[in-house]
């Protein structure tokens, strides 16, 4: 009976219960869907509530925990299933009605599905309980990744964002400005900066207000008042900052935004535009079926950006004057030319109205350029003076110039000439870098004002009658032509104001004398031996430019006849000027002819010998407002720094005090180069008792008489010494003892940013402690081959008597680059009398090698912003830094060469201080045993790495047997030579986790002693999954390159170059004496290049 009962129960379990459950799907169809609806409404409410919390967290700069995001994904997935089921059109067929019988099978299926999904909804909702929703990200992660939230990262925007954040963190900043064209991304950039400021609590509040061209002040005040009380002004509200955007930099200047805290947002480059298009378009750009279509579409999108074109139209429309608009077009049409060239063209076209003097015109031109820069219609002009413009802006300018000014710009030689109607209207023709072989016989253009031809084909001939129909021409520019004879139609160009014949071969120039109204003549880099006498008949000339030409002969009385000449440029020429003392006249003029030019204000002149210079030029020199004059055979014109108005290069070989004209030039000089100059033992006060108040760059070389640059014991210190000097270069001054002898006056050398000193063998220190305290702008130091130098900074004995001064720390706040090379006697960077005294007391009786002191004593000197450090051939260098601390946290490049006393470079505790180091190069340090030395008792410390290290170069290190340290695992490039072993692999019994290196390129060069790359099989220790390129040269003793375990982890290796190998039998070794581990087969794509035939074993599925 019990057996029967058991059987019945089982039958019931497997038949009746399932049947009942299946029947319930039919009976409770509506109830199951109602239950599903209730559950999903509860889930949607929970999702919305959490989304609200997450929105608040993200506004506070936090990142969302991964499990929360996964839960939200599952919630959305299950809600999507519910919506799909509830909206299933088949549900209409399962309802009961008077006209149809329900589909029971479908009713069962849908009800069962609703029950199952309802269970899923309940299960997902049960997992809603989270310990926390979000977390704060690291600062560097936010700063580097925030731009990718909306898409791709762009270098120009990233750099600007970092600069703005630094400005916000700067304690001296109050007002900060961002300018750029409309649509360039100013607001987006500032919003991202504000987001980062919020995330990292840089400010308590971040408030945004928009100010239109016609602002409602009350509304703006109300917006700000909702968050703050008042707006920071001056030193009020310390800690508050104003970050402003404008299309015009001049507006920011009016709002007291300093130039150092003004940042320009330029339009994207073509590469960045393409990257953005790739990001937005997705994988379609990689589809080979489309070929170059995506790139063409991207270009068209950039060209058709209506918002950008509208912004440019507005910027153009609101330009203040016609002269600004005309120059804007010229800058686009003649892109890449320098400012001085545009001055010549603008003067010829009479663009600069109501201006007569050349220098006044130049000043006006500079003002317009700065204004266009401020409106972001020009890129910032660099020191070379070349005008640059963004491609999009230039395309717009050319489009408008063609439309409104009837300009012809032809950049292809295969285009047909325009029709006659166009030339009737045409005002300017630009044939730019065309490979033209023929010009029409005539070109009837009655309204043309400018004709510019820059031809690639120097054999192009200009027909004699070509200019007959251009009688209104005012500017003619012919470049790179072989003009054996000027066209006779030149005589029709009676209105011509500016003629430029650059890089031309000139022979017969008779026709030039017909240009009687010519004001500017430029023969830049043209080939001619003798200046044509016809030039002397151009009596209206105001500027003559013969610079960089092959001219050697200037006949007498040509220059002196040009009495209206304001500017004369004869730099970098080899003219044999006549000695003024000669009674017999030769074929060349004398420089004394310059005295007959009453309006001359600008002069560029090169004189090979001092005797060519008359001594009675003082009055003429005193009138010069701009000059570059080189006297002597040791100077190169290219050495002259751009940007300086007044440059003088002197090698006299005679007593300078007899040269009154030269002394008149020295008084106001900005760039001064001195070679062999007799009669001076110092620069100050012998050459200028006022202190050279205008001098910006000083270069002194090859002078054996000079003892001091400044001798304060000889001069009256009423005036500061070199108050605005920026660059100081001292070369081969064999008797120089001090740069500044005696106590410097306040503000002396206060603007110095660069100092270079080489082969000054009597110099014992570079700066005194008193002097260095005033060098607040110093950013670069280079010292080389000064073999008496003991310290860079020395504290005088009288200072050491004061403990406060002795203990005062020296901070080089602006120093970015420090190079010290071939300094055999250098002991320390900074030292003083008291330090030497204490050292002697402390170590008295000890052997010299029993103690070492760090070269950079952190207690004495700090370099918080140093970027590059080079130390070479410092024979007394035993230790660079204090083992526990250093002050070079921003160092990115470190080069150490031939420092034979170094046994190690870093202590392990110092590694975390070099978190920005990218480039490390060590060579010829023959006593160095370790790159990173462990500190005593340091085993318990956490392991840290060089987080940004990218490249390691190691050469000729005799005692360095191991170069790879775990701290290097982020490095991407490794280059070594002359080692016995590359990777020393040591096991940590407590942690055998494999290290994933980032190496992409490895170069092993001239390693004759190298027998093995690995100290043991790297399996389980090092992985080289990122390795792409390996090069081996001169590895004569190497028997194999890779172990099999290493090869299996080189899955991205593409190129392997092996040269000059002798003993190598295998590239991949299957069995090694120290390896008894089993390894799998490698799957490597090799491009193998070997310098000779050899038999190799490669475990590779594909070759």
- For 762-808, write each residue's pLDDT tens digit: 999 999 988 998 899 999 999 999 999 999 998 776 544 444 445 67
- pLDDT of amino acid 1031: 86
Residue 449, pLDDT > 70, answer yes
Query: Tokens representing 585?
Result: 């006249």
Classify 625 as helix, strand or coil: coil
Contact 466, 442 (CB under 8 A): yes
E strand spans, 526-641: 543-545, 567-570, 602-607, 626-631
The Cα–Cα gap between 333 and 398 comes to: 7
Q: Whats the size of the chain, residue-wise? A: 1103
Please give the radius of gyration of the chain, using alpha carbons only, rounded to the nearest integer.
39
Question: What's the distance, CA 1085 to chain centroid?
Answer: 36
- pLDDT of amino acid 270: 56
Q: How many CA atoms lie within 13 A of 540 on its CB side?
A: 17
- pLDDT of amino acid 665: 84
The Cα–Cα gap between 496 and 470 comes to: 10
Distance between terminal CA atoms of the chain?
78
Residue 304, pLDDT > 60, answer no
If you average pLDDT over residues 811-823, what whole number do you get?
95
The Cα–Cα gap between 345 and 428 comes to: 12
Which of 504-513, 674-683, 932-941 has the lowest average pLDDT?
A: 932-941
Q: What percent of the chain has pLDDT over 90?
A: 30
CA-based torsion, 12, 18, 19, 21: positive or negative = positive
- pLDDT of amino acid 58: 58
The Cα–Cα gap between 906 and 927 comes to: 14
- For 23-36, write each residue's pLDDT tens digit: 677 777 788 888 88
Most confident of 60-69, 731-740, 824-833, 1001-1010: 731-740
Residue 857's pLDDT band (cuts 50, 70, 90): confident
If you average pLDDT over residues 603-622, what whole number do you get?
85
- For 63-107, write each residue's pLDDT tens digit: 677 778 788 878 888 888 888 787 777 776 666 544 455 667 777
CA-based torsion, 685, 686, 690, 691: positive or negative = negative
- pLDDT of amino acid 898: 95
Residue 256's pLDDT band (cuts 50, 70, 90): confident
Q: Which residue would you say has higher pLDDT here, 60 or 181?
A: 181
- Total H helices, total E strands in the chain: 25, 49
Which of 48-52, 142-146, 296-300, 335-339 has the lowest average pLDDT?
A: 142-146
Interhelix angle 17-27/104-126, rounded to 10 degrees, is: 100
What is the largest distance, in Å, between two alpha-carbon atoms of the chain?
153
- For 417-427, write each residue's pLDDT tens digit: 667 788 888 99
- For 112-162, write each residue's pLDDT tens digit: 888 888 888 888 887 777 777 776 554 333 333 333 334 445 556 777 888
Residue 612 has φ and ψ, to the nearest 5°, of -70, -15
Q: Which residue would you say has higher pLDDT here, 1060 or 524?
A: 524
Contact 474, 350 (CB under 8 A): yes
E strand spans, 812-886: 817-821, 828-832, 861-862, 868-872
Residue 745, pLDDT > 90, answer no
The Cα–Cα gap between 703 and 647 comes to: 19
- pLDDT of amino acid 99: 45
The Cα–Cα gap between 950 and 972 comes to: 5
Which of 88-102, 243-257, 919-933 has the lowest average pLDDT?
A: 88-102
Q: What is the DSSP string of 269-325?
A: PHHHHHHHHHHHHGGGGG-GGGTTHHHHHHHHHHHT-HHHHHHHHHHHHT-S-HHHH
Which residue from 782, 796, 785 is spatially nearest to 763, judged by alpha carbons?
785
Residue 210's pLDDT band (cuts 50, 70, 90): low
Q: Which residue would you say has higher pLDDT here, 437 or 962?
A: 437
* Average pLDDT of the chain to the nearest whole number: 79
- For 666-709, write each residue's pLDDT tens digit: 888 999 999 988 778 888 888 888 888 999 999 999 988 899 99
Which of 7-11, 56-60, 162-166, 342-346 has the lowest average pLDDT?
A: 7-11
Q: Which residue would you say has higher pLDDT here, 72 or 603?
A: 603
Residue 47, pLDDT > 50, answer yes
Which residue from 976, 1033, 1043, 1029 is spatially nearest to 999, judged by alpha carbons?
1029
Query: Tokens representing 450?
Result: 């400018």
Residue 837, pLDDT > 70, answer no
* 13 Cβ contact list (under 8 Å, min separation 6): none
- pLDDT of amino acid 963: 76
Query: Tokens representing 110?
Result: 């849908």
The Cα–Cα gap between 666 and 646 comes to: 9
Residue 358's pLDDT band (cuts 50, 70, 90): very high
Burial class of residue 534 in the structure, from the number of CB atoms within 10 Å of its CB (0-12 exposed, 13-18 middle, 19+ buried)? middle
Q: How many CA atoms lie within 13 A of 741 on its CB side?
A: 19
- pLDDT of amino acid 610: 80
Which H/E stretch holds residue 79? Answer: helix 66-86
- For 150-205, write each residue's pLDDT tens digit: 444 555 677 788 888 888 888 788 889 988 876 677 887 888 888 888 777 777 77
Residue 1014, pLDDT > 80, answer no
Compute how many other C-beta atoms are within 10 angstroms of the C-beta atom of residue 286. 10
Classify 382 as helix, strand or coil: coil
Classify 103 as helix, strand or coil: coil
Residue 834, pLDDT > 60, answer no
Q: What is the DSSP string of 616-643?
A: --HHHHHH-SEEEEEESTT--GGGSPTT
Which H/E stretch holds residue 699? Answer: strand 697-701
- For 512-552, write each residue's pLDDT tens digit: 999 999 999 999 999 988 999 999 999 999 999 999 998 99
The Cα–Cα gap between 308 and 150 comes to: 20
């Amino acid at each position: 009976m019990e057996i029967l009962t058991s059987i019945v129960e089982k039958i019931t379990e497997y038949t009746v219960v399932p049947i009942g459950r299946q029947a319930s799907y039919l009976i409770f169809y509506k109830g199951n869907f109602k239950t599903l609806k209730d559950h999903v409404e509860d889930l949607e409410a929970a999702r919305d509530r959490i989304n609200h919390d997450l929105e608040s967290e993200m506004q506070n700069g936090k990142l969302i925990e991964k499990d929360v995001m996964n839960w939200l994904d599952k919630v959305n997935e299950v809600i999507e299933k519910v919506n799909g089921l509830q909206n299933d059109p088949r549900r209409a067929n399962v309802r009961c009605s008077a006209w149809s019988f329900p589909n029971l099978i479908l009713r069962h299926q849908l009800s069962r599905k609703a029950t199952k999904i309802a269970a899923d909804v309940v299960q997902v909702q049960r997992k809603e309980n989270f310990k926390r929703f979000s977390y704060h990200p690291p600062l560097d992660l936010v700063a580097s990744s925030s731009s990718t939230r909306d898409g791709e990262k762009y270098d120009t925007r990233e750099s600007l964002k970092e600069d703005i954040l630094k400005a916000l963190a700067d304690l001296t900043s109050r007002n900060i400005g961002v300018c750029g064209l409309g649509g360039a991304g100013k607001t987006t950039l500032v919003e991202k900066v504000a987001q980062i400021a919020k995330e990292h609590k840089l400010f308590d509040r971040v408030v945004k207000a928009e100010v239109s061209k016609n602002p409602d002040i009350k509304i703006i005040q109300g917006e700000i008042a909702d968050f703050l009380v008042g707006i920071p002004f001056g030193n009020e509200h310390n800690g508050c900052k104003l970050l402003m955007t404008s299309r015009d930099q001049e507006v920011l200047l009016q709002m007291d935004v300093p130039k150092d805290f003004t940042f320009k947002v330029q339009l994207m480059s073509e590469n960045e535009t393409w990257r953005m298009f790739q990001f937005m378009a997705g994988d379609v750009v990689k589809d080979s079926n489309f070929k170059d279509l995506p790139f063409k579409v991207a270009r068209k999108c950039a060209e058709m950006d209506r918002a950008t074109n509208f912004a440019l139209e507005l910027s153009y429309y609101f330009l203040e004057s016609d002269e600004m608009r005309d120059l804007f077009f010229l800058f686009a049409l003649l892109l890449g030319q320098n400012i001085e060239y545009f001055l010549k063209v603008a003067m010829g076209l009479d663009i600069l109205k109501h201006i007569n003097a050349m220098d006044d015109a130049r000043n006006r031109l500079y003002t317009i350029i700065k204004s266009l820069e401020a409106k972001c219609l020009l890129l910032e002009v660099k020191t070379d003076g070349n005008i640059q413009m963004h491609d999009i802006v230039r395309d717009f300018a050319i489009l408008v110039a063609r439309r409104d000014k009837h300009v012809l710009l032809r950049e292809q030689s295969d285009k047909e000439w325009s029709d006659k109607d166009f030339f009737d209207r045409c005002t300017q023709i630009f044939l730019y870098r065309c490979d033209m072989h023929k010009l029409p016989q005539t070109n009837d253009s009655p309204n043309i004002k400018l004709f510019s031809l820059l031809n690639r084909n120097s054999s192009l001939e200009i027909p004699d009658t070509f200019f007959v129909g251009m009688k209104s021409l005012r500017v003619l520019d012919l470049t790179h032509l072989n003009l054996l004879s000027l066209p006779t139609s030149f005589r029709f160009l009676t209105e011509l104001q500016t003629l430029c014949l650059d890089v031309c071969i000139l022979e017969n120039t008779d026709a030039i004398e017909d240009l009687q109204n010519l004001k500017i003549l430029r023969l830049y880099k043209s080939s001619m031996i003798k200046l044509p006498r016809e030039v002397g008949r151009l009596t209206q000339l105001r500027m003559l430019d013969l610079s960089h030409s092959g001219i050697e002969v200037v006949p007498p009385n040509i220059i002196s006849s040009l009495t209206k000449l304001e500017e004369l440029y004869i730099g970098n020429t080899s003219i044999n000027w006549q000695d003024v003392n000669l009674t017999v006249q030769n074929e060349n003029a004398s420089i004394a002819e310059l005295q007959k030019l009453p309006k001359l204000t600008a002069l560029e002149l090169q004189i090979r010998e001092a005797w060519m210079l008359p001594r009675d030029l003082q009055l003429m020199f005193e009138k010069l407002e701009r000059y570059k004059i080189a006297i002597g055979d040791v100077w190169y014109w290219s050495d002259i720094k751009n940007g300086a108005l007044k440059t003088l290069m002197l090698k006299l070989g005679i007593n300078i005090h007899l040269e009154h004209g030269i002394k008149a030039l020295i008084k106001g000089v900005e760039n001064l180069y001195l070679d062999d100059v007799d009669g001076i033992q110092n620069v100050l006060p012998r050459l200028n008792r006022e202190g050279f108040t205008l001098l910006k760059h000083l270069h002194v070389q090859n002078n054996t008489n000079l003892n001091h640059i400044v001798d304060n014991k000889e001069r009256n210190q009423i005036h500061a010494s070199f108050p605005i000097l920026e660059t100081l270069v001292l070369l081969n001054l064999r008797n120089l003892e001090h740069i500044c002898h005696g106590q410097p006056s306040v503000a002396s050398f206060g603007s110095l940013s660069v100092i270079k000193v080489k082969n000054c063998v009597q110099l014992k220190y570079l700066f005194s402690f008193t002097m260095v305290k005033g060098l607040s702008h110093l950013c670069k130091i280079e010292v080389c081959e000064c073999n008496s130098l003991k310290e860079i900074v020395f504290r005088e004995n009288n200072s050491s008597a004061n403990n406060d001064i002795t203990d005062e720390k020296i901070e080089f706040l602006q120093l970015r680059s420090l190079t010290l090379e071939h300094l055999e006697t250098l002991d320390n960077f900074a030292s003083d009398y008291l330090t030497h005294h204490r050292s002697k007391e402390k170590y008295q009786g000890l052997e010299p090698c029993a103690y070492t002191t760090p070269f950079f004593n952190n207690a004495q000197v700090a370099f918080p912003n140093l970027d590059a450090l080079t130390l070479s051939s410092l024979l007394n260098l035993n230790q660079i830094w204090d083992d526990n601390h250093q002050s070079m946290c921003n160092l990115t490049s470190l080069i150490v060469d031939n420092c034979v006393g170094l046994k190690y470079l870093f202590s392990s505790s110092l590694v975390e201080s070099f978190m920005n180091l990218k480039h490390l190069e060590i060579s010829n340090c023959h006593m160095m045993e370790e790159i990173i030395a462990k500190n005593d008792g340091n085993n318990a410390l956490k392991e840290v790495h060089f987080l940004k290290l990218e490249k390691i170069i190691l050469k000729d290190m005799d005692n360095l047997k191991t170069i790879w340290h775990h701290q290097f695992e982020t490095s991407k490039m490794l280059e070594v030579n002359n080692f016995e072993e590359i990777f020393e692999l040591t096991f940590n019994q407590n942690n055998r986790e494999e290290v994933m290196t980032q190496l992409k390129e490895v170069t092993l060069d001239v390693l004759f002693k190298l027998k093995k790359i690995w100290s043991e099989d790297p399996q389980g220790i090092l992985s080289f999954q990122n390795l792409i390129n390996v090069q081996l040269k001169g590895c004569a003793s190497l028997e194999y390159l890779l172990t099999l375990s290493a090869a299996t982890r080189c899955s991205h290796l593409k190129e392997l170059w092996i040269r000059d190998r002798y003993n190598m039998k295998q590239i991949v070794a299957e069995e090694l004496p120290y390896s008894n581990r089993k390894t799998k087969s490698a799957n490597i794509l090799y491009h193998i290049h070997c310098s000779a035939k050899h038999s190799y074993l490669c475990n590779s599925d594909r070759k």
